[in-house]
Homo-oligomer: A and B are copies of this chain.
Amino acid sequence: MLIVQKYGGTSVGDLERIKNVANRVAKTKDAGNDMVVVVSAMSGETNKLIEYAHYFSKTPSKREMDILLSSGERVTASLLAIALQEMGYGAVAMTGRQAGIKTDNSHTFARIESINTDTIKKEIDRGNIVIVAGFQGINENGEVTTLGRGGSDLSAVALAGALGADACEIYSDVDGIYTTDPRIEPKAKKLDFISYDEMLELSSLGAKVLQNRSVELAKKMGVKIVAKSSFSEGEGTIIAQEDESMEAVLVSGIALDKNQARVSLRDVPDKPGIAADIFTKLADEQINVDMIIQNASKEGMTNLGFTVPQSELVRAKKVIENGVDHEIGGADYDEDVCKVSIVGVGMKSHSGIAATAFSVLANSGINIEMISTSEIKISMIVDEKYGELAVRVLHDAYELDK
């Protein structure tokens, strides 16, 4: 089998931990696998370099930031290769460029455009373990680019896809994806399997483990991800396409997003272009709108609600007041809300899931301010102070601890 492993910053946080990673890699190699290992910078390094840059400028040039930040992963990659060589394994370190990773020109947030795997394949054929500095590539002009936060995951998934690897194991300090945040609900259970779509909807649960861009890329390329801890021996969580033959789990997990603020616009004239006008103005100010809800129209007027990140509420308010206030009946704003989401591919065919949620929350005296549903998700905006309680009662109601 060809296995791509990726070790995050905490997993390679110091020299001893890099040694530990070398032992893990060696074990997988000893089991007869071909291996490509992607590494992040040692934890803290990237932040240190960013601080250095901010000593000189609040807005350092992105082109130079890429040369700066790409150095951390190179250090880890070469150290891991040296550790493995000392243990008697053939190992070669490669920069993103040497690994054939070509990106577009968006410095500090580049997208991988193609991977020329010739050099990696040649080294694998020689029996070598290939260690790749994550998070980086070069653009068409040969300039160093980086892939943004979590970019090493992207490197790993893209390499696994390009190489047709059998699995892409993503190691961090968390041993998998849980039904909800264990700090909120101690009975939260680790999932053995979760589909790409569920994982994308649950991103707030898994953000520490995997970012959406990586899951999207894995889905697109059909790469099976295994999220594991480098500090324990558990099986982790498999993130892959749902298996049609299995009966889908009704609910996989409950997510909580506290960084939400609600905007409600009353008596908005129900004519074409008004909603477009509002959201264009918000987009122009680079305000990220999350949920959008519009009720059925009544006497030519409708109510329009949406959520934005709490930090962007003040700016959103200004946009509404200056831009559309005179056209609508009124607006109110609530910073103290949060979003509770129930995620599960099985809910597509089970209408009872939503009913359960609403009655469970009602029984706990939690008022639902907004509701939005997709095929595999139900999201509800509730008072921020009830967020954690909502997670616990829902976790219980769907018996996720079983």
Contact = CB atoms under 8 A, between A and B. Distances in A.
A250 interface: no
A19 interface: yes
A368 interface: no
Contact of A79 (B53, B77, B79): B53
Contacts of A93: 63-64, 67
Given A15-B52, A15-B56, A82 B61 contact: yes
Contacts of A225: none
Interface stretch (A68-76, A274-282, A383-391, A392-400): A68-76
Given A52-B15, A55-B15, A75-B49, A95 B82 contact: no
A232 interface: no
Nearest to A142: B98
Given A63-B92, A92-B63, A95-B144, A56 B82 contact: yes
Interface in A25-59: 49, 52-53, 55-57
A18 B52 CA distance: 11
B79 A61 contact: no
B53 A82 contact: yes
Most chain B CB within a 10 A radius of its CB, from A65, A72, A86: A86
Contacts of A79: 52-53, 56, 64, 68
Interface string A136-167: 00000011100000000000000000000000
B82 A74 contact: no
A329 interface: no
Nearest to A66: B78
A182 interface: no
Interface string A77-99: 11101110110000011110110
Nearest to A79: B52
Given A68-B78, A74-B67, A81-B64, A56 B98 contact: no
B65 A78 contact: yes
A95 to B, nearest CB: 7
B75 A57 contact: no
30 contacts: A15-B55, A15-B56, A18-B56, A19-B56, A49-B75, A56-B79, A56-B82, A56-B83, A56-B86, A57-B86, A60-B82, A60-B85, A60-B86, A61-B81, A61-B82, A61-B85, A64-B78, A64-B92, A64-B93, A65-B82, A67-B77, A67-B93, A67-B94, A67-B95, A68-B74, A68-B78, A68-B82, A70-B74, A71-B72, A98-B143
